[in-house]
Amino acid sequence: MRRATAIACGIIATLLGQVSPGVASPASQQLTAESIYREGTLPSGTAVRAKRDIGGQIVSMEGAAVACANCHKRSGLGSIEGHIVSPPITGKYLFRLPALNAQDLTMPHVATFRAAHPPFTRMTLARAIREGIDPDGHVLNNLMPRFELSDAQMALLTDYLETLSPTTSAGVDSETLHFATVITPDVEPTQRQAMLSVLTQFFADQGRGEHLYFDGKLIGHAAEQGFADIPHLNTQRKWKLHVWELSGAADSWEQQLRSKLAAQPVFALLAGLGSAHWAPIHHFCEEQAVPCLFPNLDVPVLAEQDFYPLYYSKGVFLEAGLMADALRVSLTTHRLQRVIQIFRAGDAGVPGAADLRRILAPSGTAVETRQLPAITATADAAERAATLAKAVSGVTGADALVLWLRAADLAALPSSPPPGVSAIASGLMGGLERAPLGAAWRPVTRLSYPFDLPQNRALRMQLPLQWFTLRKVDVVDERIQSDTYLACVILAGTLNRMSDAYVRDYLVETIEDILGKRPTNAYYPRLNLAPGQRFASKGGFVAHFAGSEGTALDADGDWISPPD
Amino acid sequence: MPLRLTLLPAFLLTACVAVVAAGADPAVTRRTAGYTLGNIKLTREDGKNVVLADELNDSRPLVVNFIYTSCPGICPLSSQVFSEVQHQLTASGNHVHLVSISIDPENDTPAKLRAYAHKYAAGPGWNHYTGSVSAIAATEQAFGVYAADKMDHAPVTLVRKKADGPWVRFDGLVTADMLIREIRGESQAGTPPAAR
């Protein structure tokens, strides 16, 4: 893409005479045909202008509102919204004979493809873009703006469409789809094993290639029958998993990932496991245009303008929103005077606590933080208990205590909470309903719970749990394993929909399209994405333990979707 | 090779389905309808919690549509049409109440709705609403526009000239002059050109 950008810049410079040929300033390198297509911005930096007949008046529009990619998508492979179809507009689909897919086995199948019109020429395409008339003379509907583009700009855009999503993305060969999962060095070995046990088994299940049936009988697999070279007859390639374990300091991870990608191209990153530092992986995915699908994380990167990284939720940032909602009520009704946040240096509670402080700031609430030292290899139980006892000392019934603590720290809290205190703990960090709070803490501690409650999800969880049983996967960390299984299932469903159009951008777009249509999603009541939405589950509960022991929880109120 | 031939019809069928979808005629249909709203509580763009039926209990003509702020295709057009309707009717001294209801309530906070309204120069008399997932689902069901997924939504616009009058429902990409004619009680002169 970078190379294409550079070439396009050269073309712009020559065609438009806005920059002397051969002189490519950094600014001009950004102003490409890609920006006409994606952003609605001309090489000069001004907005693309277009008109639309909305009845009664022709209105002018410009810029991002008329960017081609809004409807035809970044991949150019089109979209379906309701019953309105925006067809694929890459060169392959525009300029070819109106072959039905089966008559042209080199043409990937996309659901938006229309075979009804004759192929465009550069001239009829320009007429469609400017006047909204297709090669047959039919008027395109008024969703399609009528663009004001000069001949030079039209040539740029047409050249861009000719080369958009031309071939299968890297990481896909005639028999195999390559995926990687990234594990950062700071994760618990049990979590690593939990995730890998699911991925390994799921990939083994996908390894047999496409089943071929004849008269209802299984007669073999596509690869065995020699159909591997015919894209349409091998739409379910084998999946191969590459485990990318990072090492050393976080500032070296991006370079490690680039090296791994160069050595083994992959179509996407799937699941993955990280602790408090995911930014290097996020940046790698965005820079290298590699989709990064639903990693197991407490601290995702909040950058919804980025395209390739997709997350289940905002993790601790979502919890901060849930906690703020609960605290607003208790601060008022119980006249609490101070919020005290306890977290460990270097852990997910640091950004969580900072975000809660940010959210509470406009209310004028006093927020105090007590940071515990990072856990060291030599720390023993007595030391841990002493640190926690010190952290809660001086806390009174007029304080709200916020516990951004892992399970081991929750278990090491002093057996008696400060008299009269009310606490709220990060469920994500503390182990959700299995949070090992002492008996005296349970009645006074609520949990932020950024998932559906156990009783609500029980039916949905039968799918992953039965799969674990059938596939003999030991359940050692139910949430990580369930989320990993769900990521695999979402990917499988997406690839199924994509048929043989293996284009990375189209993978992300197809997930955006199908995610909200999935009937069940394990821990999540709903998953939803859209352009500019990169966190699929957007809410959660605040809950409390239903009894003095056990894992039963009751919600304090309804599902909450906190504002940003 | 024989096997390959036996597989071909399946692909032809797939291709045909795509063609039918692409060729579906989105021309606008108009019909009268009756809706019962019940006690649905929503949140207006200014953050105020309201009862939808009270908001719609209005002496002004009402026009209702369904949008979401990250919607790439249909909603921007629909909101542009509303903008034009408001502009033209205000200019001619007619007051109308435009109501845009989000079908992506978990994402569309009041703040996002205000930003969206600003983008389309919404003046007084054009309100945007969000709510809980269940309240929005109930609203969609009450108006017969429910889609389990927001991306499956079809363009629907509803007009009610008087508080006790019937609703007129437009399915399809309605234009500003169609809505203005409806509000003014003028006959609809056909539908816009068949779109493809």
By CA distance, what is A110's nearest residue in B? B18
ipTM score: 0.81
Give percent helix, percent strand, percent coil of chain A, each to the nearest 5. 40, 20, 45
Taking alpha carbons only, the member of A437, A415, A418 closest to residue A426 is A437
Give the pTM.
0.87
**For A113, which DSSP code?**
-
Within 8 A of A70 by CB-CB distance, chain B residues are 72-73, 76
Q: What whole-number distance in Å separates Cα of residue A42 and Cα of residue A30?
A: 11
pLDDT at A444: 95
Q: How far is B168 from chain A (nearest CA, A)?
A: 18
Instruction: Yes or no: say if A458 and A435 are a contact pair by the CB < 8 Å rule.
Output: no
Instruction: Yes or no: say if A485 and A467 are a contact pair by the CB < 8 Å rule.
Output: yes
Within 8 A of A83 by CB-CB distance, chain B residues are 21, 24, 26, 154
Q: Is B19 or A275 the better-scoring residue by pLDDT?
A: A275
Indicate whether B18 pLDDT > 50: no
**Is the minimum CB–CB distance between A56 and chain B shorter than 8 Å?**
yes
Q: What whole-number distance in Å separates Cα of residue A416 and Cα of residue B15?
A: 68
Q: How far is A128 from chain B (nearest CA, A)?
A: 12
CB nearest A533 (choices: B16, B107, B147) = B107
**Averaged pLDDT, B12-37:** 58
Taking alpha carbons only, the member of B62, B79, B60, B93 closest to residue B155 is B79
Within 8 A of B43 by CB-CB distance, chain A residues are none
CB nearest B18 (choices: A113, A539, A558) = A113
**For B192, which DSSP code?**
P
Query: Which of B1, B7, B69, B87 to mutate to test binding with chain A, by most A CBs within 10 Å of its CB?
Result: B7
Segments of chain A with pLDDT less than 70 = 1-31, 55-56, 97-108, 115-116, 207-236, 377
Q: How far is B50 from chain A (nearest CA, A)?
A: 18
pLDDT at A16: 40
Query: Which of A456, A513, A537, A561 to mutate to test binding with chain B, by most B CBs within 10 Å of its CB?
Result: A561
Taking CB atoms and an 8 Å limit, are A82 and B15 in contact across chains? no
Taking CB atoms and an 8 Å limit, are A526 and B106 in contact across chains? yes
A218: which residues sit within 8 A by CB, 6+ positions away? A211, A212
- Give percent above pLDDT 90 in chain B: 62
CA–CA distances in Å: residue A524 to residues A199, A312, A441:
20, 9, 27
Alpha helices in A238-305 (DSSP H): 253-263, 279-288
Structure-token pair, residue A148 = 């004001």
What are the two backbone dihedrals, phi and then psi, of residue B146, each rounded to the nearest 5 degrees?
A: -65, 130
The amino acid at A437: L
Instruction: Yes or no: say if A38 and A305 are a contact pair by the CB < 8 Å rule.
Output: no
- Supply the DSSP string of B111-149, one letter for each residue: HHHHHHHHHTT--TTEEEEE--HHHHHHHHHHTT---SS
Alpha helices in chain B (DSSP H): 2-23, 52-56, 74-91, 110-119, 133-142, 176-184
A362: which residues sit within 8 A by CB, 6+ positions away? none
By CA distance, what is B10's nearest residue in A? A102
Is beta strand A553-555 parallel, antiparallel or unpaired with respect to A541-545?
Answer: antiparallel
Q: How far is A225 from chain B (nearest CA, A)?
A: 10
Taking one residue from A and the other from B, the number of pairs with CB-CB distance under 8 angstroms is 176
Mean of the per-residue pLDDT values of chain B? 83
Q: How far is A150 from chain B (nearest CA, A)?
A: 25
pLDDT at A197: 97
The amino acid at A95: F
Q: What whole-number distance in Å separates Cα of residue A498 and Cα of residue B7?
A: 18
Q: What whole-number distance in Å separates Cα of residue A241 and Cα of residue A244?
A: 9
Q: Is B164 or A207 the better-scoring residue by pLDDT?
A: B164
SS3 for A2-60 is: HHHHHHHHHHHHHHHCCCCCCCCCHHHHHCCHHHHHHHCECCCCCECEEEEECCCCEEE
Instruction: Yes or no: say if A476 and A469 are a contact pair by the CB < 8 Å rule.
Output: no
Q: How far is A232 from chain B (nearest CA, A)?
A: 8
Rounded to the nearest angstrom, the gap between the alpha carbon of residue A334 and the centroid of all alpha carbons in its chain is: 39
Alpha helices in A403-449 (DSSP H): 407-411, 427-430
* A contact residues 278-297, partner B, Cβ 8 Å cutoff: none
pLDDT at B40: 97
Mean of the per-residue pLDDT values of chain A? 87
Taking CB atoms and an 8 Å limit, are B196 and A139 in contact across chains? yes
**Is the minimum CB–CB distance between A468 and chain B shorter than 8 Å?**
no
Please report which helix (H) or strand (E) contains residue A32, including its range.
none
Please report which helix (H) or strand (E) contains residue A486, including its range.
helix A478-498
Instruction: Yes or no: say if B52 and B41 are a contact pair by the CB < 8 Å rule.
Output: yes
Structure-token pair, residue B4 = 């390959």
By CA distance, what is B78's nearest residue in A? A54
Question: Residue B48: exposed, middle, or buried by beta-carbon count in 10 A (0-12, 13-18, 19+)?
Answer: exposed
The amino acid at B77: L
pLDDT at A101: 53
CB nearest A141 (choices: B26, B107, B111) = B26
Q: What whole-number distance in Å separates Cα of residue A414 and Cα of residue A346?
A: 23
Q: Name residue A80's beta-bridge partners.
A: A85
Q: How far is A244 from chain B (nearest CA, A)?
A: 33
Taking alpha carbons only, the member of A525, A523, A527 closest to residue A511 is A527
